[in-house]
Every structure is written in structure tokens, then in C-alpha cells.
Amino acid sequence: MSSTAFSNGAIFSGDGFVRDAALLVDGDRISAIVPAGDERVRQARQVDLRGQLLLPGFVDVQVNGGGGVLFNDLPSIEGIRRIARAHARFGTTGFLPTLISDDLQVVATAIAAVDAAIAAGEPGVLGIHIEGPYLNEQRKGVHNAAHFLELDREAVALLCSLKRGVTLLTLAPEHAKPQALAQLSAAGVILSAGHTNATATEIETARRHGLRGFTHLFNAMSQLTAREPGAVGAALAEDESYCGIIVDGRHVDPRVLKIALRARRRDRFMLVTDAMPPVGTTARSFQLQGRTISVADGQCVDEQGTLAGTMLDMSLAVRNAIALLGLAPSEAVRMASEYPANFLGLGLSHGRLAPGCRADLLIADSGYNVLETWIGGKRIDV
């Protein structure tokens, strides 16, 4: 099998960029990063970067839809494929199709669809994110509380049923017994607090029983106050849990996110899109479980003005993190690639440009606009 050499550009090293070097790919893996004059480069098939940036592919743990598809409405290989292609054009090479609170039959169908998509080798599918229906009605956001349920034994069995890939579950931990959380965590389900009105003490109890993250930090959760830190305060008071953040300038004021970034270690923050069906289309509205969601001024809202996901893609999230939060470009890129891969337990194979990692690559211009996307060493035609 012949190698492919990516050269004549700037290769992302994690801390910055390396020039006068080439990245070699064999099959679906990165085999080496070598000096540009290395003999292996001359012998390989050439991909001329033309002075552009070579970045690790972005990993998005919260993708409700894209390309005109809402995962809830089309929980199938075809639906996943269409969402994946819409986001690949913006640099997402690994993602979790995200199911909003729904009937358990839809949850079961979605799990089976993701399992089948991974078995079929659909590019970019890493697992599933099940957001609800085990949420708190007081913090429901745009979720339909009619679907909300208690986390019982049958639910635990269903949530542990994915055979291939990662399962991420967003839940309100105050509505779950610690034993159920521990059972899910022991089975490999990644637990994240979201749409929760938990006290800080309840969050700390959940952490001792397997809670590992916070879904769209600040949004749809109990806030930090003087005498009750809430879910937000619990998240900011410790360094180990991962926090997904929506950087669109609307879900959270950028000044608030700057404070959060100063409060705890940076490598536990992840850029997420919380993307909805219009991403990658020109649509101005869509249906969400019988409600009309309008797209205006770059945001998605229902008839009452409640935010309903986003129009974000990962390349825009990176650019926003640089422009709105003042992050160094290298840190913004890592928040979109390395850190979410680590959260999913895939840090040895995804999110970095290093020998042995999957050849999930992006070619981008100096403004971090994605020009080409490669998944598993193959260029994706988008």
C-alpha cells in the first residue's frame, strides 16, 4: 500500500505549527511526520497543501441534525449519513448523532441505527449521544417534557445496549439513583449533567458515582449563586469533569465563558455545536416534534423565543472561540479535536496529528475556514 504525503504547508503540532515537514498516511492511519526532504515523501502520493494549514479533524459530541435532517425524525443509516456529510464540509470528522428526548421506541431505533452505521463503516460515526428523556422539567429548555421518564432498570438496560462505539447520556442526576448511575458508568456509558436543577451537593454525589461531564455549560442548568453553587458552580469548582460549551455569542455571553475558562483547566472544555437541521442548508425553519423552529439572525428559536439548538458548525465554533473568547488558535483547535476525543476515551486514536492516530485531517486556510476534509485517509467529497 503506497503512502500519501501531505506537504508544503503548516502542520498542526498541538502547540503550534510545523513547516518544512510532511505528514505521511498509510491506509487509514498517520504513519509519521518527517522532514520535507525525507525519501519517503518523494516516494509517496503527493497532496500539496499550497501553504495552507493541516489540522486534526474536529470531534463534535452534540449533533442533533444537519443537511435538513433531524436525527429524531430519521434515526437510520441514511439519516446519519446525511447529517455526517453536512458537517464534514465544516471539518467534523467524528461525531455523536444526538437524540433529543423522545419515546423509548425512538431511542431503541436510534441506538440500532448508530450500531448499524458503525458496522457499515459510515465515515465519522463514533457512537450516540442520548440527551434525555431523563431530564428535569424545570430546566427542560426546548425539550418536550411529555417524553420525560424516570431512570429505571429497563431504561438502564436499553442505554447500555449499543454494541459498537461510544454512548454518551445527558441526564438530570437529581432524578437518578446513584446505583443506576454507577451501573451505567460501569457499563461504559459516559454520563453528563444537563437540563438539570441539581444542587452542587447532588452533582458531587453523582460525580462519585460516575458523572464525567456537563452538557452545554450554563444552559439549562441550575446557576451559580452566593449560597447555592448549583450545577454551574459544581462544574467550575473542580477540574476533572469535561464541559461542553456553545460559542455562538448567543447561548452564553462571551464574558461569562471567559470567566469559566479562567476558573479551571482548559483541557476540560470542549467546543460543541448543538447543531440543528438547517446547518449546511439555506432553510429558514424546521419542525421539532410538532413545533416550528425559526432560523433568524443566526439562531434557532421556537414560537416563545426559546433557543432550540444552533446553526453552528465546528469551523465556525473554532473561529468564534478565537474572536469572541480571545483564545490562541492552537487552543481553539484542541478544544474542537483533542479534548472532545479525550472525553470520549478516544484520545489515542482521534483528535491529534500523531503517528498511530486515524488519518482524520483538515486542510484549512489562515482564517480556519475548512477547504478539504479527510476521514480515515480518504478525502470526503462534500
Q: What are phi and psi of 275, to 5 degrees?
A: -70, 145
Q: Which amino acid is at 263?
A: A
* Integer angstrom CA distances of residue 147 from 102, 132, 135, 162, 265: 5, 9, 9, 21, 36
Task: Centre a 10 Å sphere on the Cβ of residue 178 and count the other Cβ atoms it contains.
Answer: 15
Cell of residue 44, nine digits: 509517496
Which cell numbers hold the place of 138? 424545570
Phi/psi at 40 (5° precision):
-65, -30
Respond yes or no: is residue 297 known to be catalytic. Answer: no
Query: Which pairs count as long-range contacts for 12-15, CB under 8 Å and 24+ apart, including other chains?
Result: 12/53, 12/54, 12/55, 12/56, 12/330, 12/333, 12/353, 13/353, 14/330, 14/334, 14/338, 14/352, 14/353, 15/330
What is the three-state SS of 39-103?
HHHHHCEEEECCCCEEEECEEEEEECEECCEECCCCCCHHHHHHHHHHHHCCCEEEEEEEEECCC
Active-site choice (60, 102, 115, 274): 274
DSSP state of 353: -
Residue 74 gets the label, from left (phi > 0), alpha (psi -120 to 50) or beta, of beta
> CA 204, CA 211: separation in Å to the nearest integer?
9
89 vs 238: CA distance, rounded Å? 36
**Catalytic sites, residue numbers:** 274
